[in-house]
Every structure is written in structure tokens, then in C-alpha cells.
Amino acid sequence: MECHKCSRNSCHSKTQKNWFTSLFNFQSKSQSYTEVFSEIALVGMPNVGKSVLFNALTGIYATVSNYPGTTVEVARGKTQIGEHSFGVIDTPGMYSLLPITEEEKVARDLLMRKSVSLAIHVVEAKNLGRMLPLTFQLLEAGLPLILAINMMDEASRLKIKIDPLSLEEKLNIPVVKMSATQGIGIDQLKRRIVNYVK
């Protein structure tokens, strides 16, 4: 992906021929912005804080149902950020876009849906190195992406320092530091989501 700040169509036109895109047949999306940003998927390994973030974004407006044909539960809700309304999906934990478990298959299927147009990759600050490979896979797949580095409270306790600006430059996507349980970084994340729309 060359530039997350440019219009989405040009980002996709530069990335849609990569191997992950063809492997999973991600669709080239040419809808208007309002259609394009209809749903946001929270994605990441298990126990990184996706569901805590989901609750912070959606509040009480959430429903939980089994993904069709599976026993895997998926929570969906809505979030209102300023004048913008988005659907939010809490995807099951996944380690890779090449699925092994049923949860990973469901997570990948959810990400491939046409209506899902922004993925927020939630990672654990103290295990960043272990989690970034999935970030690269999501980027390779051509998904518009925000990296949410969660559990910064734990990282701070361990004196782990993370420079989000440097990561933004290297990955060319927005990077937000958060502590979801403490509500820290949520507002900044919301601003970055809306910036995508703009």
C-alpha cells in the first residue's frame, strides 16, 4: 500500500494485484465513501483486548449471534463518531489470514465481506514483534488498516517504549496507542477512523 492518506480507490488500485488479494479474491471496491465505510472489523490474536475495545466503541448497542453454519459467536454493534455512523464487528481471534481453526476461518470470512471496509488490527504492546506479521498480511491483502497498540499500561510498567510516529512512517498506516480497559486512546482512535472517511 503506497499511501493510506490518499483516496481509497487509489490505495486499492495499487494493492489489489498482490498475492494475498488474488489468493482470497478480495474484491476491488469502488463504492462511495458512505457505502465503503459501513463496517469496521476489529481483528487480532486472542486476548489482545478486541472485545474490550468493541464495548468501548459500541456501548450497549450490540448483538451476539453464531456465524452461519458454525458455533462461533460474533458480536456486532454500532458506533457513532460525530456525524458518522459505523457498524462494528468483533471478529474471533486469529493468528494468520491462512486459517487453521474455525474461529480463524470465520474471522477471515468476516474480513472478506464487501461491507467491511476498515480493519482495526488490535495488538498487545508488550508482544508487538509477535503480532506485526499479521499486520503485514492484512496490508498485503489490501485492507485499509489502523494499528491499535493496546495494553500500553502494561508496556509502560515493563518500561517498553513504542514510537507510534516511527511505526506510522514505516507501515504507512495510522497507529494509535491505547489502554482499552482504562479508556485511554479511544478518542484518538475514533479521530483516526473518521479521518479515513474524510
Contacting residues toward ligand GDP, per CB under 6 A: 44, 46-52, 93, 150-151, 153-154, 179-181
CB of 136 to ligand GDP, least distance (A): 19
CB of 148 to ligand GDP, least distance (A): 10
State which residue, 87 or 164, has the beta carbon closest to Mg ion: 87
State which residue, 44 or 144, has the beta carbon closest to Mg ion: 44
CB of 107 to ligand GDP, least distance (A): 11
Residues that bind Mg ion (CB under 5 A): 50-51
State which residue, 12 or 121, has the beta carbon closest to ligand GDP: 121
By Cβ distance, which residue is nearest to ligand GDP? 49
164 binds, among ligand GDP, Mg ion, none (CB under 5 to 8 A by kind): none
> H/E/C letters for each residue in the chain?
CCCCCCCHHHHHHHHCCCHHHHHHCCCCCCCCHHHHCCEEEEECCCCCCHHHHHHHHHCCCEEEEECCCCCCEEEEEEEEECCEEEEEEECCCCCCCCCCCHHHHHHHHHHHCCCEEEEEEEEEHHHHHHHHHHHHHHHHCCCCEEEEEECHHHHHHCCCCCCHHHHHHHHCCCEEECEHHHCECHHHHHHHHHHHHC
State which residue, 48 or 143, has the beta carbon closest to ligand GDP: 48
